[in-house]
């Protein structure tokens, strides 16, 4: 991301500090989920969102594989342990929705565990929101071609090679599996209390700016700069319910999902 583009984010990064101050003053809890395929731009977006934020009042959580002990616990337990206190924002770089996509596609969970997750997650989130937690669910969406290009860059760039994992290497081959499970996840977990927002992230710069706008719009914080444009670009941010309809139309037309 160029220096000009980075500077272009500054006004919204200032607003994020105001949002943080409001959360602290009102002792509000906020959770932002960053979901999506590998190389969709989640990590880079999180870094821009948090770049100037007060480190005392936010955390980025990126959990690894569960331990044997954690596998014996209630599935949501290790995520709940990371939830915010009053005045805090927690950003999950992948969340409990691992079970709906990565774990299911790669066989890291059983069919029953997958079904149990889909049966329980809506009630879990409804209760979370009912008790005052602000929940923002973001799904970062890239095309297969863009993902392939980003993987190639990781493979050839010494500064990015650490990002390339075994799962990354299989992601292109499993593209259709991921797409089917993306549809099932959205279809089953798009709810009024906890809706999904799809972030088209082929263009990283536009995805980052629009993600900031979505987060800022989730809270009516004090001191908002009324001169700034807070409306997300409809080409970049798509409501989950619309994405479901687009995917269903695509399937009717071509007989399969493609993205």
State whether the Cα torsion 239-109-178-214 is positive or negative: positive
Q: Read off the pLDDT of residues 214-230 as tens digits, 9 standing for 90 and up.
A: 999 999 999 999 999 99
Model confidence at 238, pLDDT cuts 50, 70, 90, reads: very high
Q: Read off the pLDDT of residues 148-174 as tens digits, 9 standing for 90 and up.
A: 999 998 888 888 888 888 777 788 999
pLDDT of 188 over the 90 cut = yes
pLDDT of 209 over the 70 cut = yes
Specify the range with the lowest mean pLDDT, choosing from 49-58, 144-153, 250-259.
250-259
CB atoms within 10 A of CB 42: 26
pLDDT of 5 over the 90 cut = no
Percent of the chain with pLDDT over 70: 99
Selection from 13, 178, 25, 145 nearest residue 87 by Cα? 25
Considering the chain, what is the average pLDDT of its residues?
A: 95
What pLDDT is stored for residue 1 in this prediction? 54
pLDDT of 146 over the 60 cut = yes
State whether the Cα torsion 6-11-16-18 is positive or negative: positive
| DSSP, res 67 | P
What pLDDT is stored for residue 236 in this prediction? 98
Residue 190 falls in which region: left (phi positive, over 0), alpha (psi -120 to 50) or beta? beta
The whole-number average pLDDT for the span 83-98 is 98
What token pair was written down for 99? 């079970």
Strand, coil or helix: 91 = strand
The whole-number average pLDDT for the span 79-99 is 98
The whole-number average pLDDT for the span 181-201 is 98
Is residue 206 within 8 Å of residue 236, measured between CB atoms? yes
pLDDT of 2 over the 70 cut = no
Provide the β-strand partners of residue 239: 197
Q: How far is CA 81 from CA 70, 71, 84, in A?
A: 11, 14, 9
DSSP notation for 136-165: EEEEEE--HHHHHHHHHHHHH-TTTGGG--
Strand, coil or helix: 85 = coil
Q: Where are the alpha helices (DSSP H) in the chain?
A: 3-8, 10-26, 42-50, 68-71, 77-80, 102-105, 111-130, 144-156, 166-171, 175-189, 204-217, 240-254
pLDDT of 183 over the 80 cut = yes
Selection from 149, 256, 123, 155 nearest residue 202 by Cα? 149
State whether the Cα torsion 48-54-56-58 is positive or negative: negative
pTM given for the model: 0.95
As a whole number of angstroms, the distance between CA 158 and CA 136 comes to 34
> How do strand 134-141 and strand 237-239 relate by DSSP bridges?
unpaired
């Amino acid at each position: 991301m160029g220096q000009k583009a980075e500077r272009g984010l500054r006004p919204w990064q200032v607003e994020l500090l105001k949002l943080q101050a409001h959360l602290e003053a009102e002792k509000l809890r906020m959770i932002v989920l960053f979901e999506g395929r590998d190389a969709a731009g989640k990590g880079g977006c999180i870094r821009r969102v948090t770049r100037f934020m007060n480190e005392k009042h936010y955390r980025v959580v990126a959990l690894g594989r569960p331990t044997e002990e954690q596998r014996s616990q209630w599935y949501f337990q290790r995520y709940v342990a990371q939830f915010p206190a009053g005045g805090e924002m927690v950003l999950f770089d992948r969340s409990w929705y691992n079970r709906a996509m990565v774990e299911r596609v790669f066989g890291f969970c059983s069919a029953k565990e997958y079904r149990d997750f889909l049966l329980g997650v809506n009630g879990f989130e409804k209760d979370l929101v009912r008790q005052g937690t602000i929940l923002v669910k973001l799904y970062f969406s890239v095309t297969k071609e863009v993902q392939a290009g980003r993987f190639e860059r990781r493979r050839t760039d010494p500064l990015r090679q650490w990002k390339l994992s075994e799962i990354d290497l299989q992601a292109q081959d499993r593209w259709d599996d991921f797409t089917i499970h993306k549809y099932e996840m959205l279809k089953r977990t798009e709810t009024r209390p906890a809706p999904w927002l799809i972030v088209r992230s082929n263009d990283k710069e536009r995805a980052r700016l629009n993600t900031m706008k979505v987060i800022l719009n989730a809270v009516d914080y004090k001191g908002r700069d009324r001169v700034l444009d807070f409306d997300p670009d409809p080409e970049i941010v798509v409501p989950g319910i619309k994405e479901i309809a687009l995917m269903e139309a695509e399937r009717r037309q071509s007989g399969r999902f493609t993205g």
